[in-house]
Amino acid sequence: MKTLLLIRHGQSEADLLDVHEGRADFPLTALGRSQAEAMARWVAERWRLDAIFASTLRRAAETAELLSAAAGCPITWDGELMEFDNGPLAGLTRAEADERYPLIPDLPPDRSAYGQETMLHFRQRADEALAHCLERTGRTAAIVSHGGMISQLCASLLGLAPAAPVGVRTGDTGVHCWQVSEGRRALLFANRQEHLLSMEAQNPLQI
């Protein structure tokens, strides 16, 4: 039996600017670092991690580094855990993106618009990253990533099709806990954020 924690990064500067993030590489805000520090203490008090896998984008990397320091566990960097590749939308305000790259509805999962990643490839990245993490995990591991990737990882764990109309919402430093054994995958809890209760401000859920 293996325990797998899926953890979203803290608040990033893109959240304050209200821009499309995706592959835009923004760091954490001061609040985001405080959120990540609170999450790291909470996790370290409850689990003994033997592995941390993290996206290389700055907001996730900074979150993972704080978790590593609190848990005394090294990080394995994995570019496959990066957020959805949103191509030219990265860093644009939502108004700019709506004007220059209007939404194209009902795209099949193997097709993309404006040079973005296809949903099929996004899911394949999640499948491969998940398999890699489980292979290298002893008993308990954490994956520090992004809202979209965490949703894809959960879909992979549930065995959902890439185009399934199901998503998992994750707030800043939200933690999901899975138990995985041969032939069985069980979700113990989703998007826990009680480590933020003592903080003055919390952010709305984000995907």
Could you list the active site residues?
A: 9, 83
Return the amino acid letter for 171.
G
Distance CA 113, CA 103 (A): 9
| Crossing angle between the packed helical segments 30-46 and 58-71, to the nearest 10 degrees | 40
The residue count of the chain comes to 207
Torsion of CA 70, 8, 18, 80, to 10 degrees: 110
How far is Cα of residue 140 from the mean position of the Cα atoms in its chain? 17
What's 82's DSSP letter? S
